[in-house]
Structure 1
Amino acid sequence: MGTKCTLSDITLTEQLKLGSHLAYTEIYERYFGILYVHACKRMYNHEDARDLVQETFFNLWTRREHLIPEKGVAPYLYRSVRNGLIDLMSKQSICSKYITSLSELSKCSVSITDYPIREHQLAAIIEKEIDALSPRMREVFILSRKQYLSHKEIAEQLHTSELTVKTQIKQALRILRGKLSLIAYLAVLFRIY
């Protein structure tokens, strides 16, 4: 869709529901910037805002069969971003409470004799979470983070595109970040590294 598209949201939603990549692209180009600015106004971290909008579009594609074309796609997109913001703020609030309680606990007593044990346990937990990734995602992640290959080198080695590699790494980091966030806070708090 190199030229300006004049299709209505309803028509684009109907085509998207049928699996049209062109309709998806047009909706993405039409709404990404607006949603990104909307998310940035409510978040301090622009990277998190971009991730939230990207995730919204990913969910739009995976849930396209459930769209109601008569309503268009804009209400769905704004509602998804709003719900994502609420979820993120809720998680940040919970993490903040954990950090506060852990810092109070650390003031009471700190034992440095078991640091090597905790470090080993943390490394085992991280490896376990990496092993839980899908096989392809795990392979791409290991090549990137443990063998220090660039996206281009990984793409050439696995005979895939750089965009696929970038997406796989980003998804792996999002999954690991979610599963390991509390553990990472503990590591920083107790200086396990």
Structure 2
Amino acid sequence: MGVLTHANDKELVVMLQAGDNNAFTELYNRYKRPLILHGYKKTGHLEDAKEIVQEVFSTLWSQHEQLPPIQHVSAYLYTMVRNRVLNYIEHKQVEARYALNFQNFIDEGLNTSDIQVREKELQQMIDKEIAALPPKMREVFILSRKEYLTHKEIADRLNISEFTVKNHIKSALKILRLKIGLCALIALQQFF
């Protein structure tokens, strides 16, 4: 039992305002448990409630010289805990928003990277299938699709007819659609 266990709350506050460490200790011992319980009911976390009550008493001691006249110590302390709980809840909501935004950023970043990897793989498949075309057909196709030459320009460069150029491109597209379509279908099935 402490020396001040018989003092009432108003007397303890006056003594606390004068810097009496024993008065502070007595107030702490009287209100610690009910305030922790109150904080726990509001936060749902015992450790957080204990920390909130610790902060309240720390503030009470650090500001003991500036304390206003307190009529009801319990009401004053409960109000301090309530305000800290509201700050706690607001802080948790901000943390949750940041965590969600960060997770969205990570998800989008991974998604973008995944798309880039798949695009590169698809381009490699297309290049591989183009390389597998018959030599003359491949040459015509590359001049058409990669160097953007017209059928007439290709025909003049290779000394073949425009009709032959058109047939090579048509045949190359047919082969590529078939082969790349199957590869893409297989890749999609692995992805999903």
Shorter-chain-normalised TM-score: which range? 0.5 to 0.7
Q: Distance in 2 between matches of 1:66 and 1:4?
A: 22
Give the partner amino acid of 2:34: I
The amino acid across from 1:44 in the alignment is G
SS of equivalent to 2:101: helix
Q: What's the counterpart of residue 152 of structure 2?
A: none
Alignment correspondent of 2:104: 104
Q: Which residue of 1 aligns with 2:11?
A: 11
Q: Do the aligned residues in 1 keep the contact of 2:4 with 2:23 (CA within 8 Å)?
A: no
**Which residue type is aligned with residue 41 of structure 1?**
K
Amino acid at match of 1:109: G
Query: Residue type of the partner of 1:26?
Result: E
Q: Provide the residue aligned with 1:182 in structure 2.
A: none
Match of 1:56 in 2: 56
- Residue 40 (str. 1) matches residue 40 (str. 2): yes
Structure-2 change in CA distance of 1:50 and 1:70 (3 Å) = closer
> Which amino acid is 2:79 matched to?
R
Q: Report which of the two structures shows the higher radius of gyration computed on alpha carbons.
A: 2
For 1:79, the aligned partner's letter is T
Deviation at residue 70 of structure 1 after TM alignment: 4.6
Q: CA RMSD in A?
A: 1.7
Is 2:73 the counterpart of 1:73? yes
Unaligned 5+ runs, structure 1: 112-193
User: Which segment is superposed worse, 12-21 or 40-49?
Assistant: 40-49
Deviation of residue 44 (structure 1)? Answer: 2.0
Q: 1:17·1:65 contact (CA, 8 Å) conserved in 2?
A: yes
User: Percent identity at matched positions?
Assistant: 32
- Structure 1 runs (4+) greater than 4 angstroms displaced: none
Deviation at 1:74, TM superposition (A): 2.2
CA-CA distance at 1:69 after TM superposition: 3.6
Q: 1:2, 1:79 → 2: CA distance?
A: 26
Once the two structures are overlaid, the 10-residue window that deviates more, 101-110 or 32-41, is 101-110
After TM superposition, the structure 1 = structure 2 runs for residues 1-193 of structure 1, keeping only pairs within 5 Å, are: 2=2, 5-110=5-110
CA contact (8 A) 2:39 2:85 kept: yes
Give deviations 1:138-189, integer Å, cap 9, x for gaps: xxxxxxxxxxxxxxxxxxxxxxxxxxxxxxxxxxxxxxxxxxxxxxxxxxxx
Q: Which consecutive unaligned segments of at least 5 residues does structure 2 have?
A: 114-192
Is the Cα contact below 8 Å between 2:16 and 2:64 reproduced in 1?
Answer: yes
Paired residues of 1:13 and 1:72 also in contact (CA < 8 A): no
Count of residue pairs brought into register by the alignment = 111
Determine if contact 1:11/1:69 at 8 Å carries over to the other structure: no
Distance 1:80 1:68 in 2: 13
Find the aligned partners of 1:69 and 1:102 in 2 and give their Cα distance: 46
Mapped contact 1:39–1:49 kept (Cα < 8 A): yes
Counterparts of 1:39 and 1:106, CA distance in 2: 35
Shift of residue 7, structure 1, vs aligned partner = 1.3
The residue matched to 1:19 in structure 2 has which SS?
coil
The C-alpha deviation readout for 1:52-82, integer Å capped at 9, x for no partner, is 1011100000011122345243232111111
**What do the CA deviations read for 1:15-36 (whole angstroms, capped 9, x no partner)?**
0000001101110111001101
